[in-house]
Every structure is written in C-alpha cells, then in structure tokens.
Amino acid sequence: MRKIFVVLSLLLLSVMPAAAGAAGWQEGLAPPGVPAAAFPAPSRKVAGIVTDTWRDEQSRDQAGEAERVMRLLDVKPGLDVADVGAGSGYYTVRLARRVGPQGHVFAEDVVPDYLDRLARRVDAEGLAGSVTLVHGEPHDPRLAPRSLDLALLVHMYHEVTQPYGLLWNLRPALRPGARVAVIDARKETASHGTPPELLRCELAAVGYRQTAFYELQESTYLAVFEPAAGPASPTAIRPCSASQT
Ligand SMILES: C[S@@+](CC[C@H](N)C(=O)[O-])C[C@H]1O[C@@H](n2cnc3c(N)ncnc32)[C@H](O)[C@@H]1O
C-alpha cells in the first residue's frame, strides 16, 4: 500500500507544472509598488500577448542576435540582469551563461504558463542556480530594490498595457549606473513594434534618458536608457501620443 502511495506521489509530481513557491517561479521579489490606477494609460494601441517568443531561436542565433546585443551592452561575468518579458527564455539562458555563477538573471513575465515552461527549461539546461523566475504585473515587474545592473526588455514593450507604471516601478530595482535596454521592431504598436521616437518619448515621460541606439536585424533596434530627472509623481506623467512623436 505504502509503495503504491509513493509511486503515485512521484507520478503526480512529475506531471505537475512548476508553481509559485516550488522550485519554479516566485510571486514577486518586492512588495507591490505604486498601483496601476495611479498611472495614465498609454495614448496609443497596445498589442495583445500572443506568443512567448519573437522568432525561432535558430534563426535568431544565425543572425547573431544575442551575441551582438550582449556585446553592445557589454554583458560580462558578474552582472545582475533582468529579462523583463522573458517568455520562453531566448535571452534568459544566454544571459545566464554569460554572467556566470558570479552574476544572476531575473527572468520576469506576467503569464504563469510561460513561467512554468521557462522553469522547466532552466532546470533542463542546468541553470537553476543562476536564474530566478518572477511573476510580475503589467504595471509592476516586482523586482527587488537595487538588484539590477541592467534590465533588458525584448520584443515586449508594445504588449505592456501599463508602460508608465512598468517603467516607474522598475526604477527602484536599478542600482546606480544601471541601464534599461529595449529591443523592438520599427512598426506601430498594434503591429507588435514600437516606433523609436514613441519609445524615447514614453521613457522620457517617466524620467529615462536615451544614451545609445543601434540598428539590429529585420528592422529591429536596440535603444539604451539611463534614469534621469523625471516627474515628481505618477500623476505628473504626461502620456505621449503616436502623432506627437
Ligand atoms: C513576443 S514575447 C517575447 C519574449 C522574449 N523576450 C523574446 O525575445 O523572445 C513577449 C513577452 O512579453 C511578456 N509580457 C507582455 N506584457 C508584459 C508585462 N507588462 N510585463 C512583463 N512581461 C510582459 C509576454 O507574456 C511574452 O512572454
């Protein structure tokens, strides 16, 4: 009888998805930040969440995407990096290998199913010690204060329903000198991209200054920002409209 119970328990464990509190993901690494209601909505369309990856990983590697981005951002061993909107983890696993055991990757997303799958991938690739999976909210990545040297937002900005909240609540997680890097396509937000001028305007509205800009493959780009002087409170944020930029 006891043997049957043990076998059944093991079977159950093997089919159970990773869940909050288990070896999988965590429900935020910081207490909730400023609530969503405090922020203006974006004055442009927001794309829906339709997939956990931008392109198949083979074609991205053939284009040298992650290697080039990590070189441009000078990602090196020991760095603590957030992969915000990590999805299936194209960047998570490559960043984890690059930052090594002295660094860490915080892979954050808002979709529990995506985090479950990513937890299994991280385990399977032997990277569990270098990656922490975090369930955030659309207006708040729930990352720990002063935990990051770099936050990377890849092909996800146009899906953020509360971009002003996300950027505002991300800021306490940045250490002095930390950067925020955004990769997106040169398309309208409804078509799963963000025009670079609109991105610059929305980040400036929350108090981030663009410091570098690079063209990538397939009409995509990498824009790098640093925290700068900004509005005193969320109610002082003036949303950008697509036509203004
Ligand atoms: C197209 S996928 C890109 C995934 C990955 N970054 C890549 O480059 O392949 C967009 C991801 O952003 C996530 N996402 C959308 N809105 C988000 C938000 N407000 N905060 C965090 N993640 C978000 C989605 O759940 C999805 O996993």
Domains and CATH numbers, the chain: 38-229 (3.40.50.150)
Q: Tokens for 37? A: 């209601």
pLDDT of residue 241: 84
Pairing of the two strands 131-135 and 148-154: unpaired
Per-10-residue mean pLDDT for the chain, 245 residues long?
A: 46 40 79 97 96 96 97 98 98 98 98 97 96 98 98 98 98 98 97 98 98 96 97 96 66
Taking a C-beta distance cutoff of 8 angstroms, is the pair 216, 68 a contact?
Answer: yes
**In ligand 1, which atom is closest to the CA atom of 154?**
6
Residue nearest to atom 12 of ligand 1 (CA): 85
Determine whether the shortest distance from the Cβ of 57 to ligand 1 is under 6 A.
Answer: no
**In ligand 1, which atom is closest to the CA atom of 138?**
19
Taking a C-beta distance cutoff of 8 angstroms, is the pair 183, 155 a contact?
Answer: yes
3-state secondary structure (DSSP) of residue 28: coil
Determine whether the shortest distance from the Cβ of 118 to ligand 1 is under 6 A.
Answer: no
Q: Tokens for 115? A: 């985090």
pTM of the model: 0.91
Tell me how far apart the alpha carbons of residues 229 and 202 are, in angstroms, rounded to a whole number: 14
Q: How far is the CA of 161 from the centre of ligand 1 (A)?
A: 11
Residue nearest to atom 15 of ligand 1 (CA): 159
Residue nearest to atom 9 of ligand 1 (CA): 53
Which residue spans within the chain are E strands per DSSP? 25-26, 80-84, 104-109, 131-135, 148-154, 174-185, 208-215, 220-227
Tell me how far apart the alpha carbons of residues 10 and 18 are, in angstroms, rounded to a whole number: 14
Q: How far is the CA of 108 from the centre of ligand 1 (A)?
A: 9
Tell me how far apart the alpha carbons of residues 217 and 154 are, in angstroms, rounded to a whole number: 13
Tell me how far apart the alpha carbons of residues 200 and 198 are, in angstroms, rounded to a whole number: 5
Determine whether the shortest distance from the Cβ of 165 to ligand 1 is under 6 A.
Answer: no
Q: How many CA atoms lie within 13 A of 62 on its CB side?
A: 6
